[in-house]
Chains A and B, each alone.
Chain A
Amino acid sequence: MSCMSDKTGKLITDDGSRLDGRRADEIRPMKIEIGVLSRADGSCYLEWGRNKVLVGVFGPREAHPRRMQRADTAVIRYKYNMASFSVEDRARPGPSRRSIEISKVSREAFEPVIMAELFPKTAIDIFVEVLQADAGTRTAAINASSIALADAGIPMKGLITSCAFGKVDGQIVLDLNKEEDNSGEADFPVAMTQDGEITLLQMDGHLTSEEIKKGLELVRKGCKEILEIQQAVLRRKFETPIEEPAKETSMEEISDIENKVVEAEVSMGYASEAKVVEEIHEEVKFFEEDILVKIAEEETVTEDIQEFEELKNKIEEPESLVEEKTLKEIIVAEIEEKADLKASLEINPKITEFEELELIEEEYFSSDAEKMTFESEEFAEDKTPLYEQSINEEVTSEKTFESKNELEFKDKSRKKVHAEEAVKVEEKYEKENSKGPWRVVKDPSESGSKGDKDE
């Protein structure tokens, strides 16, 4: 206060820069250290210009005296204290009226964000020591307290950021220093949440409402800058470093879907591996979508023509049929086998599930070949003429190569392959006849790999 009297020189030069070289909308340089006190639950040392502020946070801890306790929430206590050596003329130690007021408004600045209701009957203590003062100590203390609270792990809805504006030489400027504050015409400290809600507001001096409006804009900008500094400091202490992946992900790894997913889930904590999992999920999703699309298309029987052409070709070429059997052939062979060796049906349970089998079996034993053909046609009803045609041809060719089949089935391993072939064809029929996707959510490649495993 004593240095105020003979400061009459200009505080802002004609080109708009201030005594310390700042522009009107610039804050003083800020330096923050976190976790500087070992005994406090959270702490912060902050330098802002020539201000030096130290904050320690304790709690939530038992509230003393007990009558202070609140049954539904924690009490927040904020004590702003100035060291006697922090100002030009020694300050009387102990609480002054000024420090009591600052403590109250600062506490209220934090009450909207601290989730005190989580800790009933406790106290959260915030102790501020101003070690060196150079105007704007309450805003400095609030910025430091915000970080100390986060350091202590006190749940908060967001950080509180504080900055003042004032009027110097008739101009609205941000973050006054001591010289500016002494001869300034107004001082307007503000604290706000990350969303810009004002939690502390004080003012003294002389301002018009237009100047206040302009000042609030400046403060908003200043607070945004300070918030970035605060966040950077907290990130530096608490952010887990992202580790590089051990090796690059190849397509083979992606193809081994099941293993990968299990592996990656264990170490979800690492962003790089989480990314792999994500990719795999994408892959699987893509597959599933693809299948669903295919199913939908098959229901309308437009895309399947090519496959039936192939089937048709096979039937037309006798040589190929020696090796690759059609459904009917296999069924017939199966039935023969069953008649001779009753146990053979167990080879692939899917075949037993095939409802048509029993029907055909009966028909076979009644030796009614004509009826069988008819049933097959009925089986393929509502299909395209091409489809019907192929079925008819199938049945005809079955009769023709019956004798050859008998020879083939002496080789047991071959028979197994044919049984699998039957499953595939069966699945195809299932798809074609199904009305809903739930019956046919089968991946062609999946059934193939299953076959491999069985062997």
Chain B
Amino acid sequence: MKNLQRIRTPITAKVCEGLSAGDRVLLSGSIITGRDTAHKRLSRLIAEGKTLPVRLDGETIFYAAPTPPRPGRVIGSIGPTTSYRMDEYAPTLMEAGIRGMIGKGKRSPAVRDAIVRYKAVYFGAMGGVAALMSACVKKAEVIAYGDLGPEAIMQLEIEDFPLIVIDDASGRDLYEEAVPNGYL
């Protein structure tokens, strides 16, 4: 197994430079969630030069919408949605300060270029093991776009959240390296 690193948010440019595609990471600290519609809204506000409802500077965003918690639980099941739907917006969000992204699946060349340019990182979280991941979430709170229901932006406190570096700041991509013959 490749390197296992314990990292605490906020993730800095220096931390990103020390991460390589294929590294396993246990991430702790505060992150936010956001997916399709939240990305669209944030990008529009950025384009219009308006104030954002959340701070993006140095932030890590998890493409996720959890199940509702049963009474007495912090959160329901939680895991990544497929990232390519956020590709259109991800470079804009990185320009606005997003340093880490958590999702699953391939990213576009434009996103991978932006990851290099802004010294960011794209982590893969395992898809379909959301009951297991639920235990890593210690606090959860809706901080913006509550009208989106499960797609609202939440702030999460996570502990030892298991991730794998997919795209690193040097331009390497785990999927490409794992599948030598490529996908096309």
- Does A associate with B in a complex? no
> Measuring CB to CB, which residues of chain B are less than 8 angstroms from any residue of chain A?
none
